[in-house]
Amino acid sequence: MDVENLQRKDLEYIWHPCSQMKDYEELPPIVIESGKGVMLYDIEGKDYIDVVSSWWCNLLGHRNEILNQRLIDQLENIEHVIFSNFTHRPAIELCERLAKHLPKGLKKFNFSDNGSAAIECALKMSFQYHYQTGNKHKKKFMCLSDGYHGETIGALSVGSLDLYAKMYNPILIDTIRIEAPDCYRCPYGKDRDSCSVECFEKAEQAFKEHGDETCSIIVEPILQGAAGMKIYPAEYLSKLRKLCDEYDVLLIADEIATGFGRTGKFFAVDNAGISPDIMAISKGLTGGYMPMAITITTDEIYNAFYAEYNDQKAFMHSHTYSGNSLGCSVALGVLDILENDKTIEKAQVTAEYLHRRFCEEFLNHKNVGEIRHVGLINAIELVEDKGTKKGFDSELRVGYQIYKRALEYGLVLRPLGNVLYFNPPLIINEAEIDLAIERMKKAVGDILEF
């Protein structure tokens, strides 16, 4: 079948994620045939650099030989088995090896199959923990404005991005929102050097008012990804840890996007040297190979559910694909690579190069308001006016125009509104960075002259 035929059939059957399907009339889906490293190839052989890691999950490049072999080997044994009352070697080994990389105290692993499910699990767990330890009045969740935690009803309820949540407001859980740090447009007029995390007073106020009725607060540590790669200081997290302890509120760290080296440390909370009470991981966990997520917690929380069966304290939460053997095996491959190749440490060196090149090529552009970066993640916030930091009218879809041009030049940018970013696989090299920047520059220049 030729490309047009495949595209026609695709549109006949498939409702693509997070898309206005009418846009596809003008930009039909690109039919990908294969991938290798940071490259994707369509069925006509055209290459695309995957600088968004296929929605942030591809950690070590496409078609990695070690990860492929892990899957092939596991298929010789078993693909999947019921995970209630049954277990298997890959799951056990994975937990034991992950534990060595986790913040202190995180010891119990509850498996699911996608990020949103891991968030639901964390929210339910935090409520039930308090319910079973004499705090039945703790029924509220807190979260930060501009947060993103997935798209199921519970996850949307603790998210704050109108783009995904607004439509469903009438059916969401009522949640307490704290104004998040906004470092580019700091309401206190500070910059990164003069900042003393003044905005933390918003959290203090919220805890004073609602701390008593709150069972948990959920945050994306360091990096609010979907909000436009907004980065905030580690000190915010260390302060939050203390505040949570003071009010007996559990701290949930959503490390789904930030885990596995994306911020330069193994986990983003490591930047603050703190341990959350509950952590959710997914995306990089399997290197982007298999849908798997884990909600990890402490002995203290686990023990609040541990009782005689008839006490009815068990955590009755399950997913069919919990503990999937193929997912666990490929996740073991990811740990092999990260441990043996020192990938995260090496990526930190590449990250310096990437940031320097981004600044050289884009910082002086009239519409580049800010380049923010952590780990290999570099994001450009496009603005209409640099002085006032006024953004473009969203109806102009400037980011989307650049995205379409970039695809023509062989680059997968997929901006967040008017924020263009790279969040590439950790194994990207300098030559690939140069090529990606060259393609991005052409695309940006076509829409917003240099």
Ligand X SMILES: *Cc1c(COP(=O)(O)O)cnc(C)c1O
Binding region for ligand X (CB under 6 A) out of 115-123, 163-171, 240-248, 259-267: 115-123
In the complex with ligand X, the residue whose CB is nearer, 272 or 437, is: 272
Binding region for ligand X (CB under 6 A) out of 143-151, 314-322, 373-381, 429-437: 143-151
Intra-chain end-to-end CA distance of the chain, in Å: 41
Q: Which of residues 257-276 bind ligand X (CB under 6 A)?
A: 257
In the complex with ligand X, the residue whose CB is nearer, 128 or 286, is: 286
β-pair partners for 176:
142
CB of 226 to ligand X, least distance (A): 6
Measured CA angle at 368 (ends 364, 373), to 5 deg: 100
In the complex with ligand X, the residue whose CB is nearer, 50 or 220, is: 220
370 SS3 class: strand
In the set 254, 277, 381, 432, which binds ligand X (CB under 6 A)? 254
| H/E element, 42 | strand 39-42
- Residue 149 in contact with ligand X, rule: CB under 6 A: yes
- Residue 418 in contact with ligand X, rule: CB under 6 A: no
Q: Residue 261: which region, alpha, beta or left (left: phi > 0; alpha: psi -120 to 50)?
A: left
Are 416 and 380 in contact, with CB atoms under 8 Å apart? no
Strand ranges inside 220-367, DSSP E: 223-224, 230-231, 250-254, 278-281, 293-298
318 appears as a binding residue in the annotation: yes
- Residue 220 in contact with ligand X, rule: CB under 6 A: yes
In the set 58, 282, 298, 418, which binds ligand X (CB under 6 A)? 282
| H/E element, 129 | helix 115-131
Dist CA 449 CA 205 (whole Å): 45
Dist CA 371 CA 16 (whole Å): 30
- Residue 327 in contact with ligand X, rule: CB under 6 A: no
In the complex with ligand X, the residue whose CB is nearer, 166 or 208, is: 166
148 appears as a binding residue in the annotation: yes
- Residue 377 in contact with ligand X, rule: CB under 6 A: no
Q: Which amino acid is at 169?
A: N
126 appears as a binding residue in the annotation: no
CB of 421 to ligand X, least distance (A): 13
CB of 199 to ligand X, least distance (A): 20
Binding region for ligand X (CB under 6 A) out of 19-27, 130-138, 144-152, 356-364: 144-152
Are 406 and 368 in contact, with CB atoms under 8 Å apart? no
CB of 175 to ligand X, least distance (A): 15
CB of 310 to ligand X, least distance (A): 35
Q: Which amino acid is at 65?
A: E
- Residue 381 in contact with ligand X, rule: CB under 6 A: no
- Residue 225 in contact with ligand X, rule: CB under 6 A: yes
71-to-94, 110, 145, 334 alpha-carbon distances in Å? 14, 22, 39, 12
In the complex with ligand X, the residue whose CB is nearer, 150 or 228, is: 150
Dist CA 285 CA 326 (whole Å): 12
Q: Which residue is nearest to ligand X (CB)?
A: 115
β-pair partners for 104:
none
In the complex with ligand X, the residue whose CB is nearer, 250 or 256, is: 256
Alpha helices in 176-230 (DSSP H): 200-210
- Residue 160 in contact with ligand X, rule: CB under 6 A: no
Are 38 and 425 in contact, with CB atoms under 8 Å apart? yes
Give 431's DSSP letter: H
In the complex with ligand X, the residue whose CB is nearer, 254 or 361, is: 254
Detail the residues annotated as belonging to a binding site: 55, 115-116, 148, 254, 283, 318-320, 414
Detail the residues annotated as belonging to a binding site for pyridoxal 5'-phosphate: 115-116, 254, 319-320
List residues near ligand X by CB under 6 A.
Answer: 114-116, 119, 148-150, 220, 225, 254, 256-257, 282
